[in-house]
Amino acid sequence: MGSVAVTLSAGTSGGHVRAAVLHGVIVAVAAGVGLWASSRTIYKRFGHLLLAAGLLWSLATLAEADESVLYSFGLIAGWLVSVVAVYLLLSFPDGKLLARSDRALVGGIAAVTCLLYLPTALLVDAYPQQTPWALCRDSCPANALEVVAREPAILASVVLPLRAVLTVVLLAAVTVALTLRWRAASHLRRHMLAPVVLAALVTLISLTGFVVVRLAAPGSAAVDTLGWLYGLSIPVIALSFLIGLLRWRLFVARALRQLAAEVGAQSGPSILGAAFRKRMEDPTLRLLWWDGPTARWADSTGAPADLDHERALGHVATEARDHQGLPLIALVTDGAFRDNAEVRDTLMRYAMNSLEHRRLERRLDESMRELDESRARYASVAVAERRRIERDLHDGAQQRLVAVRIRLELAAEAMERNPHSGAGLVRELGDQIEQALDEVRSVAHSVYPSVLADCGLQDALRSQARHAALPVGLDASGVGRYPPEIESAVYFTCLEAMQNAAKHARGATRIAVSLRQGADLRFEIADDGAGLPAGYLEGVGIANMRDRMADVGGSMTLESLAGEGTTVTGTVPLRRSHD
């Protein structure tokens, strides 16, 4: 608003109105884009430079004032705009001069301004009349800062031509530097640089043309045209900055969509790294994976890598860790993404998602394999159990029933001869039938003991403890009733552990069984023997015990130390089982 007011205060003609509008647009665009960029951490420095350019331009519009002091300071502020404009062009997009040549060019422009422009404000009678910041021609105010009585002749003959030549040479060098940067940039970097380089060329050409034409043909219309083109360079640079960022974001979004379509969730490090380099168009980008067994970083080929060495070389390494703080994956680049943390973080999240998906796929495959193995073991156990039942029935109840049938035939024959003796044989058959029933009940109880179904875990285990080969101490206070599948799994697991201790725990004299109920049902079977044989720890019996626990959502661990006995511990989540 101040720029517009100062311009309109000099007059309300059509030229002054157009100038006021242009000054307002220049300052507003530079300030608006500068404020937005300043709110973004990565572009904060560049935003501050845009704000400085807008402020200097607003001060430069003081050259439109009729008062000589304001007019003089306005022209001085206009000289400083050129330094900031060159700094903006060479420091895009992060506001830093990374190359030594860029720092030299900005230093050269600043030196010419400080040595050949600013001191002349104290020596000249009047400033050049055609400037991008003032419309006045023949009636411009006098220089209010002149400290000498008469302008030195050397200014017009030496200083003014010298500074014009040096300015043109430095601006040409800036143009060459930007052109070389454009040619050396990767295709990816050009997505962001293209609008800014175009704006830079227009700015530098217009400023160079303005300096040359004003020196060669002062008063010509071309000077005014080139001056206003240069004046518009500030908002053009600001808008090209936004356009470059928009092109960058569109490119990254498209590249990520292509990555999602091309790279499967099961892709390995080499495929994922190659896809990143291809779609992001950055050949320097590499993915490193943490190799847990060797405790070192490795690239996609498996070759060892050193993050500290990469950083020492000036590369940017973004590292991701798991919830325990252990390293997982690292993204290393020295190209287009070195100064764009947002894109690096996005790629890291993509890689982490792929890594997590692959981990879950492996866990699922492992669970499916364990499920298949468990089913196979259960099928084998079921077949073995069916054969045992058949054998028990054949060797026990079946044989007794066959004997009963034979005795029935003998009793029938005896009754035909002597009814009294036949009656005695029939009475003997009752005892044999009772024995057959006992054997049938025994077989049935081995499948699911009736005491377990009727009375629960505590009584069932106490019944088994009374008939165990070794003395058993049972502590099951506070244990209640549970779903049949839980009681069956815990009962048979404890029974298997007690039988293993009796058969395989060398030198064992007693077995301790304890059950505790909290949020989970926990049980422990421990003996005081010399420990189980090493080969038995991975036997079928142990696998069956683990399978029983897994079926009800529980787990089982076995610890056997030489000379210290064996302890079997199990846990079943009760809350989960009741849901």
DSSP 338-395: TT-HHHHHHHHHHHHHHHHHHHHHHHHHHHHHHHHHHHHHHHHHHHHHHHHHHHHIII
- In 67-128, which ranges are continuous DSSP H helix? 68-91, 100-112
Q: β-pairing, 565-573 with 555-561?
A: antiparallel
The helix (run of H) or strand (run of E) holding residue 570 is strand 565-573
Q: What is the pLDDT of residue 130?
A: 62
Q: Which residue has the tokens 């019996």?
A: 541
Q: What is the pLDDT of residue 384?
A: 64
Q: What is the pLDDT of residue 104?
A: 94
Counting as low any pLDDT under 50, the low residues of the chain are: 1-8, 10-15, 395, 576-579
Q: What is the pLDDT of residue 13?
A: 43
> Which numeric CATH code is attached to 371-447?
1.20.5
Q: How far apart are CA 170 and CA 166, in angstroms?
A: 6
Q: What is the pLDDT of residue 110?
A: 94
Q: How many CB atoms lie within 10 A of CB 436?
A: 20
Each as own residue / partner, the long-range contacts of residues 496-503 (CB below 8 Å, 24 or more positions apart, any chain) are: 496/541, 496/544, 496/545, 497/525, 497/545, 497/568, 498/464, 498/465, 498/468, 498/472, 498/525, 500/532, 500/536, 500/541, 500/566, 501/470, 501/525, 501/527, 501/529, 501/566, 502/468, 502/469, 502/470
Which amino acid would we find at residue 54?
Answer: G
CATH code 3.30.565.10 region(s) in the chain: 452-578
Which sign, positive or negative, has the C-alpha torsion 552, 554, 559, 564?
negative
> Which numeric CATH code is attached to 2-249?
1.20.1070
CATH code 1.20.5 region(s) in the chain: 371-447
Which token pair is 316?
A: 């940017």
> Which numeric CATH code is attached to 452-578?
3.30.565.10
The helix (run of H) or strand (run of E) holding residue 204 is helix 187-216
| pLDDT one-digit tens code per residue, 478-527 | 888 888 888 888 888 888 888 888 777 778 888 899 999 888 899 999 98
